[in-house]
Amino acid sequence: MRDAYHDELEALTDRLVEMTRLVRSAVSRSTTALLDADLQLAESVISRDEEVNRLYAEIETSIYEVMATQQPVAVDLRTVITALRMASNLERMGDHAEHIAKVARMRHPESAIPAELRDTFVEMGAIAERLIVKTGSCIVSRDVEMAKELESDDDAMDRLHRRLFRVLLNKGWSHGIESAIDITLVGRYYERYADHAVSVARDVVYLVTGSRYPDAE
């Protein structure tokens, strides 16, 4: 019974890592779809979000079964609690990637991104991918120092997010209100994607140390 119990806890980690793989692929493909006005790629991101949702549902069901049948305590209890929170954040990351793809689909055959902001969104997409790669590594290794690094990566995303608003509020903006709304929404999706990655990293810290915030005693 106990062997099966610990196997189930290990399976939770495997499912979480699979979720990170799926949401990394989603944000990568949605960024390309957004920049290149690739309708087929956008549609693939939207349709495959169901895979992320399915994994989330499996994790949720498994955790409820463990809680009901095993009544975990101490570190095991932290493990199942953080797994549920991580899965929820990863599911939301998948949703944000899907939303980016939907903006790309809505503006097809044109790109939703004006030429002067293309480099900014290329960089935002790269940061999003870097964050989720580190997130997956943290989940497997439970590396607290790596988890702390996600905070600084998130700061870089926040700086780019603020840069978007400086461009939008500039008197030289010539792309109209509709484009400004698209940029505002998409920038927010990337920023929230990064925030959820940081939340997962903080859960790794909590799992290892008992404190969710990296600088807490």
What percent of the chain has pLDDT above 70? 96
On the question of pLDDT at 2 being above 60, the answer is no
Architecture label for domain 2-209: Up-down Bundle (1.20)
Q: How confident is the model at residue 67 (pLDDT cuts 50, 70, 90)?
A: confident
pLDDT, mean of residues 183-192: 98
How many other CB atoms are found less than 10 A from the CB of residue 197?
29
Instruction: Tell me the C-alpha to C-alpha distance, in Å, between residue 162 and each of 74, 153, 185.
Output: 41, 15, 13
* 82-101 pLDDT tens trace: 999 999 999 999 999 999 99
On the question of pLDDT at 3 being above 80, the answer is no
More confident residue, 217 or 34: 34
Q: How confident is the model at residue 6 (pLDDT cuts 50, 70, 90)?
A: confident
pLDDT, mean of residues 104-112: 96
Using only the alpha carbons of the chain, give its radius of gyration: 19
On the question of pLDDT at 216 being above 50, the answer is no
Q: How confident is the model at residue 217 (pLDDT cuts 50, 70, 90)?
A: very low
What percent of the chain has pLDDT above 90? 81
CB-based contact 97:31 (threshold 8 Å)? no
Instruction: Tell me the C-alpha to C-alpha distance, in Å, between residue 181 and each of 109, 169, 189.
Output: 18, 12, 12
What are the residue boundaries of the structural domains of the chain, listed by start?
A: 2-209
Q: Is the pTM of this model over 0.85?
A: yes
CA distance 101 to 2: 44
Average pLDDT, the chain: 93
